[in-house]
């Protein structure tokens, strides 16, 4: 494919002056763009050719929204915005883009572009305005026939145009409204300005953390049990910025449960499908965790691998030791779709907790996963409650243990049995750390990326409703367990689709990513390598 170099040579007729022109000093740098992160949920401030642009919830670079613009054979999906600027002044235009041959530039001036960005990539250009220039048009576009590109967090830094030199007042009453082990939620009172406040910059320990248009923000990517200081500045369209608000301090929650628990753990099944060498796959892909399948019941309420292999003294224990010697770890999958399961075979929650404890003690586990499916467990109220109560007991008896529930889902989120499971977990105070859905087997649905995201968003909404969590808290309690290649009903998840799902999962900071299974990921372990890039 051929592309034109969009970087224009310096000419006296261009609107943007060339390098070497002395720029007037800039008193306060500010983002001059309206709706720079598309967090308004619409294209306010932007104009996209031929209706090619829209605002989407994923994939995003930060926040909850981003631009999606579809480049077809007849349009390069150009989206632009014009702002007021000052003459003879230096500006920096930057942004995060994703897609093929995405351009970011200034009309009549310079541009930057990327030939192929499978994940969000930062582009940046600097320019100096002409001697009499008072406006500049910034733009994004893809390339003809190259499909949809995404853009987020676009910034034009420098002083605004016009005669307004009055800064907004400092935001008042900055306060902490919530914390997790990896995020802090903030709110403040609106600032005032002679013309109007256009947004706020939130600083963490003196470094810009995020920009918003409203009076609330959540700063993510933080470390557990760590103190941070936050301030906020207001800004107006002319580029004037307010003084800092009064600082507020917040300490994130410990990482010992729920948010902050991150696990990339594809399934490894030693009882089926010519199982590969776990350590060879680790060396080839960088994966550290495995979900090892399956712990079932043997002779009543006794745990065993596939109902037949002992916990200790067999290939499973040998494999776990090798994984740990190589710097990794495992979480056992207890249950599954078929087989003789512990949930129905252990008569009481206490007996079931005892069975779980045998597994925990055998391997000194950091986490356990109960894969609750089918009519014998998932669609059985008594067994649901037994499992939840047993998990509550083992959490009480094993401080720091993480508990995971893996269960089926609809495209729209949990079905009635999934909703009951979540509601009962709240009622019983089970303290489940991660809710992992299996978004496949949707009767041949052909958009596996869209279906996965829709199902995950439905789970998020349910968790928020039941537990009263914020978006960030709900995402941190969520896991996705997909199926590489073809599902049982013929749906196909390609490596490209799985990469999209992983990137969305990273952008939304969910807690867990898995797939069924490494045994099927041959010959190059491509899905495992993609999963190893999950960072939560």
Contact 92/135 with Cβ under 8 angstroms?
no
Give the sign of the dihedral formed by CA 456, CA 457, CA 461, CA 467. Answer: positive
**What φ, ψ does residue 264 adopt, rounded to 5°?**
-100, 105
CA distance 123 to 112: 6
Neighbours of 134 (CB within 10 A): 12
CA distance 40 to 66: 10
Burial of 302 (0-12, 13-18, 19+ CB in 10 A): middle
Q: Which two tokens stand for residue 35?
A: 């709706």
Q: Which residues contact 94 (CB under 8 A, 6 or more apart)?
A: 104, 122, 123, 124, 125, 154, 155, 157
* Beta-bridge partners for 227: 251
**Coil/strand/helix, residue 50:** helix
CA distance 458 to 228: 32
Which DSSP state fits 378? I
Instruction: Write down the catalytic residue from 166, 280, 317, 373.
Output: 373
Residue with tokens 């910025």: 241
**Coil/strand/helix, residue 371:** strand
DSSP conformation letters of 249-294: EEEPPPSSSSTT--EE--EEETTSS-PPPHHHHHHHH---EEEEEE
Q: Which two tokens stand for residue 534?
A: 């999950």
Q: Is 166 a catalytic residue?
A: no
**Coil/strand/helix, residue 404:** strand
User: By C-alpha distance, which of 265, 268, 266 is closest to 278?
Assistant: 268
CA distance 356 to 367: 11
Which DSSP state fits 3? -
User: By C-alpha distance, which of 79, 84, 89 is closest to 32?
Assistant: 84
Catalytic residue numbers, as ranges? 373
């Amino acid at each position: 494919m051929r592309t034109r170099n969009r970087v224009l040579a310096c000419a006296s007729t261009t609107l943007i002056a060339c390098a070497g022109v002395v720029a007037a000093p800039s008193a306060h740098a500010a983002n001059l763009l309206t709706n720079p992160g598309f967090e308004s949920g619409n294209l306010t401030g932007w104009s996209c050719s031929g209706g090619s642009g829209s605002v989407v919830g994923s994939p995003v670079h930060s926040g909850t929204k981003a631009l999606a613009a579809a480049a077809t054979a007849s349009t390069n999906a150009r989206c632009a915005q014009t702002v007021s600027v000052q003459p003879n002044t230096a500006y920096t235009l930057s942004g995060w883009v994703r897609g093929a041959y995405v351009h970011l530039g200034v009309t009549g001036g310079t541009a930057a572009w990327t030939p192929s960005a499978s994940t969000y990539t930062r582009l940046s250009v600097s320019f100096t305005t002409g001697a009499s220039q008072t406006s500049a048009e910034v733009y994004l576009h893809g390339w003809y026939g190259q499909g949809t590109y995404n853009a987020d967090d676009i910034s034009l830094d420098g002083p605004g145009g016009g005669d307004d030199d009055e800064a907004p007042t400092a935001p008042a009453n900055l306060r902490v409204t919530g914390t997790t082990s990896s995020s802090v939620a903030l709110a403040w009172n609106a600032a005032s300005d002679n013309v109007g406040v256009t947004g706020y910059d939130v600083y963490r320990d003196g470094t810009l953390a995020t920009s918003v248009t409203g009076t609330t923000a959540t700063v993510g990517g933080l470390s557990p049990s760590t103190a941070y200081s936050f301030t906020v500045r207001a800004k107006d369209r002319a580029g004037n910025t307010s003084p800092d608000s009064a600082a507020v301090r917040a300490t994130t929650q410990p990482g010992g449960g729920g948010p902050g628990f991150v696990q990339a753990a594809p399934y490894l099944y030693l009882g089926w499908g010519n199982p590969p060498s776990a350590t060879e796959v680790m060396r080839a892909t960088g994966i550290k965790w495995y979900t090892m399948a399956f712990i079932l019941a043997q002779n009543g309420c006794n745990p065993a691998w596939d109902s037949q292999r002992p916990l200790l003294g067999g290939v499973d224990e040998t494999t776990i030791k090798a994984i740990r010697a190589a710097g990794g770890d495992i979480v056992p999958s207890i249950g599954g779709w078929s087989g003789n399961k512990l949930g129905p075979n252990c008569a009481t929650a206490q007996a079931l907790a005892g069975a779980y404890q045998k597994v925990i003690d055998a391997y000194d586990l950091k986490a356990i996963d109960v894969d609750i499916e089918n009519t014998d467990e998932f669609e059985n109220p008594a067994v649901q409650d037994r499992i939840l109560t047993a998990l509550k007991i083992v959490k009480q008896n094993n401080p720091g243990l993480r508990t995971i529930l893996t269960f089926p889902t609809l495209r729209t989120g949990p079905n009635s049995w999934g909703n009951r499971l979540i509601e009962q977990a709240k009622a019983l105070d089970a303290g489940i750390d991660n809710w992992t859905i299996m978004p496949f087997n949707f009767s041949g649905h052909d958009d596996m990326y869209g279906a996965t995201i829709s199902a995950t968003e439905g789970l998020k909404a349910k968790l928020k409703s039941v537990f009263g969590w914020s978006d960030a808290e709900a995402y941190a309690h969520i896991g996705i367990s997909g199926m590489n290649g073809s599902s049982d009903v013929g749906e196909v998840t390609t490596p490209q689709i799985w990469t999209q799902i992983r990137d969305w999962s990273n952008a939304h900071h969910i807690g867990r990513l898995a797939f069924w299974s490494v045994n099927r990921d041959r010959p190059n372990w491509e899905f495992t390598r993609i999963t190893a890039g999950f960072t939560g």
